[in-house]
Every structure is written in structure tokens, then in C-alpha cells.
Structure 1
């Protein structure tokens, strides 16, 4: 069975909107979905290091450190978008001033597969024509916001 450990980051602006990317998965046989910044852990990295690296690569935002993950767990990847069968993730929440992501650190596949990006309010997710991943994203967003307010 194939496994992937990932770090996902919820960036919130001053209006509690979060940055999402509309991105294709393993193929274009299914529509793209909205996802958060983040990705797989490289050899020798821990979840915190991967979160910081992925943020810089995918958005251009350079952080020296990151607050502890607010959620960790195993998950079953949606096979429409992923080639791996099991996973473990750590979720982070970061408050930032709204900015436009830069593509300087994007991989070739990200350059080809990212359709657009947008800052979303939690309640706007149900009004988009595309799905979001994971399906529990609205709950994770609400949970993350409570950690930022405390």
C-alpha cells in the first residue's frame, strides 16, 4: 500500500479568509478541486519543516518558524486526485496580511495543474462550482480560527 505524509497550511488574512488553490490532481480526467497550500514531507524533514518549505514554494511566503499543528491524523486520500492509498497529515494555521502568491517555487506539475487561486470565507466554499479537498475542510477552517483567536 502506498503512503504519503503531508503538511497542510491554512493561511488566514485579517478578514478570516483562507488562501486556496484550484488544482488538478493525478490526471485531468476529473475536474480540479480547491486545496490548501502544503504537500508531502521530503526525506529528513518533519511536518513543521515541510509546512514552512511548502508555504515558501507554493506562495512565496517565507516563515522562520510555524506554530504547532492544530490537527494531526491519518486519512484515506480521495483516489480521484491521488495515487497514494493512505496518508498522515498535520494541519497548521497562520495569520497573514493578504497577499498575491508568487509562482517562483512552483514545480512543473504545479505550473501546469494550478488553474487559479483565491481567498475564501468559510461560508463561500459551498457556493463554488468546484469541490474542495478534504471534504472536512470547512470544519478544519473553523477549528483553525479558534486556535488563532486564543
Structure 2
């Protein structure tokens, strides 16, 4: 895995699919500037000695209130670096597949589970189809998510995690 010259923040992300093959994305923005926005998968940094699997499930519950999931394998790994809230974040991200049977779920942000920064920068959540992602004009991370989702839906999870290109914004 490529590095940026120092220790990276370890992050677990969740590719949550419903029975219809839609993916759940959160709508985020720069604190104080709602026009600087993007869509991204639930997830976040590891806390204490938790595993990436534990972090994935905790973050999903905190950010969406969704706890009824079946956590699957790691689909993708990437290193990314981006500015956010006045600092640079350098991360080693693992994307876990998760499925939920709650097809009618319309997640609301679970305010009590969010950090102050998340409360100031997460505007909501939405289920997306592959087609909606492929046709979207919004910014979505990882940047190849539509293509990756299509491959996942067509071929199933890879036998080993795919190493995505490093993204530096």
C-alpha cells in the first residue's frame, strides 16, 4: 500500500447494500460551507484497540443508526489525503461489504452518535442505485464508486481486496 511518508490514520468504511443493490451514502460538506459538498460511504477512524471490523460496525451505527447488518469481506483498500476542517487528513481506508435486509430503511442521521465535527459537516444520507451514481454530477468518494459498485453487483466481492489508486485532493 503506498504511503505518504508518515503514519496514516486507519479507517474502516462500509459499502452498505440493501436487497435491491442500492448503496447508502452520507452527504457531507466542509463545516461552514455547505456548497463545498460530496457523498461518501459511512465509516471513520479506529478508536483504541478496536479492529477494523469493530470500527466499521460502530461507525455505521453512530452515523446512520443502522445496526442490523451482515458484515462481509474487505472489498477495496486505498490511501487518500484531503483537506477538511482546516487540516489535512492522510488515511489508509478499508472498505467492508455489508448488507441489510431493511429495504424500506430511510436512515436519518443519528445525532447522538455523531462527533461535533460530524454534526457540523454531515447533512444527511441517501440510498443510491448504480445508475444514479453513474449519472450523478455530484462529487462522490471514492471517485470510481459507480464503476466499483457495478463490478461488485455483477461479479460479487473480489477474492482479495482491490487496491484502489491513491487519491490526493
TM-score where L is the length of structure 2: 0.73
Residue in 1 that maps onto 2:19:
14
Max Rg structure: 2
Question: Does the Cα contact within 8 Å between 2:27 and 2:125 map onto a contact in 1?
Answer: yes
How big is the shift at 1:89? 1.4
Moved more, 46-55 or 103-112: 103-112
3-state SS of paired residue (1:79): strand
- Change in Cα spacing, 1:119 to 1:29, as seen in structure 2 (3 Å) is closer
1:1-150 pair list within 5 angstroms: 1=6, 3-25=8-30, 28=33, 31-62=36-67, 66-73=71-78, 75-79=79-83, 83-96=87-100, 97-98=102-103, 99-102=105-108, 103=110, 104-145=112-153, 146-147=155-156
TM-score where L is the length of structure 1: 0.81
Question: Does the Cα contact within 8 Å between 2:71 and 2:99 map onto a contact in 1?
Answer: no
3-state SS of paired residue (1:69): strand
Query: Structure 2, unaligned stretches of length 5 or more?
Result: 1-5, 160-169
Question: Does the Cα contact within 8 Å between 2:25 and 2:40 map onto a contact in 1?
Answer: yes
Q: Deviations over 1:13-56 (max 9, x none)?
A: 12111111110146638611001111111121121111011111
Query: Structure 1, unaligned stretches of length 5 or more?
Result: none
RMSD: 2.8
3-state SS of paired residue (1:78): strand
- Change in Cα spacing, 1:100 to 1:29, as seen in structure 2 (3 Å) is closer
- Change in Cα spacing, 1:106 to 1:85, as seen in structure 2 (3 Å) is closer
Question: Does the Cα contact within 8 Å between 2:24 and 2:127 map onto a contact in 1?
Answer: yes
How big is the shift at 1:80? 5.9
